[in-house]
Structure 1
Amino acid sequence: MSYPQLEHFDFDEWMALAHSDPDAFEKQRKRVIDAAIAQAPQHMQTRLHALQWRIDMERSRASNPLSACIRLSNMMWKMVYGNKGLMAAIGDLTDSTHLPRHSADVIAFVRR
Structure 2
Amino acid sequence: MQFDFEFDFEHWRTLAEEEPARYFAERKALIDRFIASAPASMAPDLMQLQGLIDHSRAEAGTPQIAVQQMMGMLGDYLAALAGQMRELQQHSLALAAIQSRAD
When normalised by structure 2's length, the TM-score is: 0.86
**Paired position in structure 2 for 1:104:** 102
State the distance in 2 between where 1:76 and 1:14 align: 24
Alpha carbons 1:92, 1:98 under 8 Å: kept: no
Larger Rg, first or second structure (1 or 2): 1
Inter-CA distance 15–80: structure 2 relative to 1 (3 Å threshold): same
> What are structure 2's unaligned runs of at least 5 residues?
none
- Cα distance in 2 for partners of 1:98, 1:52 equals 36
1:11 alignment partner, one of 9, 12, 16: 9
Aligned residues: 100
Q: In the alignment, is the contact (CA less than 8 A) between 1:80 and 1:86 conserved in 2? A: yes
1:90 alignment counterpart: 85
RMSD: 1.8
Deviation string, structure 1 residues 36-68 (Cα, Å, up to 9, x no partner):
000001111111111111111111110111111
* Runs of 4+ with deviation above 6 angstroms: none
Higher fraction of helix: 2
Higher relative contact order (CA 8 A, sep 6+): 2
Sequence identity (%): 32
